Structure 1
C-alpha cells in the first residue's frame, strides 16, 4: 500500500524505463501505473548548463504527454530525465562501446561525477492542470585505481549501453565507483523521495 492515498487518481509514468517503473512500484508502492512514452526528441543544445538541460528535457517530456493525451479521470503524470555531468560535460546514453569507453575513461580523469535528474509531475482534472518540478544531484566518485582490464570487461558485458552515463550503478557497474553522496535511487533512474514530495505537494493544491 502506498504511503499516499492515490485511489482517486490514474497514474501515468512518462517513461519507458523499467528502472523508473520499478522504483514507483516497489519503493513508493504505486503499483497501478500506465506507461506512456513521451513524444519528444531529446535534442536540446548541450550549450546549456547540465542542470538547465535536464530540467528542460524533463519539462518537454511532460508537455508532450499532456499535449498528446486526453485524460478522462483525475490523473497524475510523472516524467523524469537523467544525465551525468562530468567536468561540465553532459553525458547521456551511449549507443556504442566506443562512446561508452570514452565516458568511463573520462571518469578516471575527473573522478567526481554528478548524476542529475529532473522530475516533473502534473495533476490533471479535466482542463485544470497543476505542475511541479525539481532537480536532484547525486555525486559518485569513480575509483581511479580500477584496472583498465576491469573497465574493458565491463564494456564487453554491454550492461552499460543505452543507460545514462554508460553504467548501471545498481548492478555490476557498482564496482567502478568508490563512494556515493546523495540519493541512491536518483542514480538508478528516479529520485524516489523527491518524486514523493512533488506528488504530495500537488495533492495539497487540489
Structure 2
C-alpha cells in the first residue's frame, strides 16, 4: 500500500464525479419522510382545512414545515417577483419588502382565478443571512467560488443573523380598499459558526451542493450543521420558516379578515375616513 496521500478532491476526477452545476443543482442529501403529526384542533386551522390556502414559495423546507399545521390542501404557487430590491436597505426592511412583494404577486394572480376561486389565505416568506462583521446581506450562492467565499466569510466573522419575514394575506368579502387583510412578522436568530472549520471542510461541503438553494449557502437541518457551533433563537427560522411565528400571523390575519367582514354600518373602517 502506498503512503502517498491523495488530495481531498482529485483533479483527475471524471465528469461523472464532478458536482452538479449551480444552475441545475438541488440538495443531494437523502430526505427521510416522517409521518405528519396530528393536526392542531385550533378554530382558525379547522376553518382553513376546507378552504384554499396558498404557499407562495417553492422551498421544500417551507412546504414541510407548513405541513405540520395540518392543512391538507396547501397549493404551492411560487411568486414571480424578481427579488431584486437594493441591498442598501436595512436587513429587516429588505426581507420584509421582499416577502410582501412575493405575497402581493401571487395575490394579484390568484384573486381573479375563476376556476378555483379566491384563496382564503396566501402565505409568503423570505429568508436572508446577514454577516454581522461586514453587514452584507447574503442570499443564495451564485457559483462555487461565490459559495466558498460566502461560507468562509461566515466562519471568519463567527456570528451572523438569520432573518425571516412572514407575510399573510386574506381577502375581504367587502369591496373596501385595499380588499385584503395583511399581517407580517420578522423572526431573528443568531448563529455562530465554528471557528475551527477548515477550508477543506468548507470545500467538501460546497461540493455536496446541499447549500445551493439556501440563503447563506448552508442547510442547518442537514450536513450544514457541521459548520455551526450554536444558535440563539428559533431553529426552524434558520431552516426557512419559524412555525410558531407563522401560526400567530395566520391567526391574526384571519381574525382581522373576519372582523372587517362584520364591521357595522357607520362604524370604524366603513370608508368615511377617506373624506378626511
Q: TM-score, normalised by structure 1?
A: 0.94
Structure 1 partner of 2:186: 135
User: Between Structure 1 and Structure 2, whose CA radius of gyration is higher?
Assistant: 2
Shift of 1:50: 1.0
Q: Is the 8 A contact 1:2 1:30 kept in 2?
A: no
After TM superposition, where is structure 1 displaced by more than 3 Å over at least 4 residues in a row? 125-128
Count of aligned pairs between the two proteins: 205
Aligned counterparts, 1:7-86, within 5 A: 7-25=49-67, 27-69=68-110, 70=112, 72-73=117-118, 75-86=120-131
Task: Tell me how large the CA RMSD over aligned residues is.
Answer: 1.4
Task: Flag structure 1 segments of 5+ consecutive residues without an equivalent.
Answer: none
C-alpha distance in structure 1 between counterparts of 2:129 and 2:235, whole Å: 14
Greater RCO (CA < 8 Å, at least 6 residues apart)? 1
Q: Is the 8 A contact 1:140 1:181 kept in 2?
A: yes
Task: Flag structure 2 segments of 5+ consecutive residues without an equivalent.
Answer: 1-38, 259-276
Q: Deviation digits for residues 157-194 of structure 1, max 9, x if unmatched?
A: 11111211000010000000010111111111111111
Q: Is the 8 A contact 1:95 1:162 kept in 2?
A: no
Distance 1:9 1:2, change over 3 A: farther
Shift of 1:74: 5.0
- Identify the match of residue 165 of structure 1 among 216, 241, 246: 216
C-alpha distance in structure 1 between counterparts of 2:224 and 2:249, whole Å: 29
